[in-house]
Structure 1
């Protein structure tokens, strides 16, 4: 699917956005306001990227969760954000002589020994770094939807194919999932392009705030442009949504990481399709008009 030509003026861009059909994210969400995505799970309330954070998002009634995927030394895909295990596990205590404690230098069995919850609070002591299989299994248990980020793909050649293999083995590449329950995103342009080429049915997202002049090329293989919320404007969001992505729908914009009600209302006012947040209950209420500043 070819991208539309860039509109000549902001007015034209706004008009194009208003005439565009409903986004896939909004269609699957079924409610007012942007889709709310629990960043690394409900990570303000439970240790990020753990199964407990998925559970907390489900408890709060949040449909979408986001996670980060990296690869161990022996080829297992695990869910963790940082390249180093240091911040969110007790790796320094368990393996004191293994600095800088990078994920890629540890086997899956070694990582499975680590406590990934105590740093957040005693109630989560003993939580583990989940494998991707474990994580998608928990998301499936709650009937949730997944915004999956392939983290630092330049460190892990072939991780795109491996991620898709795990998703396929876990039943996440059937029509029901790829049509409305799964998006694979990355900061890496080549990574996003590779995912699209390997599995064209899968919706993809490019993280960052690319120039509008680059959007025609990106719209060939990505369905979303997902920028930091503080880089956005009404004109930019409208410009992105004026392009048609590879599945014949307007490109979507999912903004990250918004944790304050006032910022959420401002971002929603730009017309974004989704908001990624550590505090999904706060942002949901703020963008649905159910909470005032004093209640947050």
Structure 2
């Protein structure tokens, strides 16, 4: 407990000593992907507090419903790759041997311990050099709890850091008889997020659901259509009829290397011509793929490809890079 209190004290001291003038320092936004997840287990309140102290523009929340209709902040509909659910409730797995958030009440979910992401079949940690798996005392939390943390920190630090929630797997929830989207929108409204001027961007991979949010549910929030498949890059004109931006996989922006330099697809320019912002995912300093260094990755995608912002597990590094530029 003392170590957690010390962590929060240090974070708040760092945070209060920083000047929040991000919109004038650079025009590109930094989104803390699942919080400062390169340093602390993803989607924990500790990771969100650390991201806030780093002066990001937005902090992401992936949202899944509990059995009693509480929006939980967790990356997937599954529990068994970031918690000890298999040890605490071994009898609660489904026929596919997975444990689902939707099968547990909020109170039950709060009894689980969260750890760094791991492979449920082997127990092996996904990112080996991150926070050690099974260490610390981290728990799951609701969207309401996270909003209250972020809004509280905004008040005490005089900042206006936004939230960037994602509606996760709406079709799954609908098959289970759940109205995830409607419940999330109600929570957002209750906390003052209703228009494009509010510090909230709502995202979803499901194009049918995101269009429904705009046209049927009449949301006036800033909407971002996440995309991950090649054919979706050809649907920008349709996306522009209801969305304000797109969130592509960053590799959809890259074409090929010529003389050691990347060339680019037309995705960013096509989106910009339609008035869409472009926020690619995910910048990871410990997963560079075709890049030699994280610096090269940031320079290529942020500066040369001219995207408007990006999701990153290492927001402090990206912010430092952008501020130098």
TM-score (norm 2): 0.73
List aligned pairs for 1:20-39, cutoff 5 A.
29-32=23-26, 34-39=28-33
Counterparts of 2:116 and 2:25 in 1: how far apart (Å)?
36
Q: Deviations over 1:160-217 (max 9, x none)?
A: 11110011122222x5xx4141111010001211221323311111101554542222
CA RMSD across the alignment: 2.2
More deviation in 114-123 or 128-137?
Answer: 114-123
Segments of structure 1 that go 5 or more residues without pairing to the other structure are 1-26, 244-249, 291-296
Are 2:218 and 1:205 aligned? no
Instruction: Please state whether the residue corresponding to 2:91 is helix, strand or coil.
Output: coil
List aligned pairs for 1:169-188, cutoff 5 A.
169-173=190-194, 178-188=196-206
Counterparts of 2:153 and 2:265 in 1: how far apart (Å)?
34
* Match in the other structure for 1:254: 279
Structure 2 residue corresponding to 1:241, chosen from 256, 272, 275: 272
Indicate conservation of the 8 Å contact 1:118/1:126, yes or no: no
Q: Deviations over 1:3-51 (max 9, x none)?
A: xxxxxxxxxxxxxxxxxxxxxxxx9833225211110011011111111
List aligned pairs for 1:38-53, cutoff 5 A.
38-53=32-47
Instruction: Please state whether the residue corresponding to 1:29 is helix, strand or coil.
Output: helix
Q: Deviations over 1:41-96 (max 9, x none)?
A: 11011111111111001122223111200011221110000221111111111112
By how many angstroms is 1:288 displaced? 3.3
Indicate conservation of the 8 Å contact 2:52/2:59, yes or no: no
* Match in the other structure for 1:279: 314
Counterparts of 2:22 and 2:220 in 1: how far apart (Å)?
16
Instruction: Please state whether the residue corresponding to 2:90 is helix, strand or coil.
Output: coil
List aligned pairs for 1:1-296, cutoff 5 A.
29-32=23-26, 34-99=28-93, 100-117=98-115, 120-121=131-132, 125-143=136-154, 144-157=161-174, 158-173=179-194, 178-197=196-215, 198-208=217-227, 211=232, 213-232=234-253, 233=264, 235-243=266-274, 250-259=275-284, 260-268=294-302, 269-289=304-324
Indicate conservation of the 8 Å contact 1:253/1:273, yes or no: yes
Q: How many residues align?
A: 255
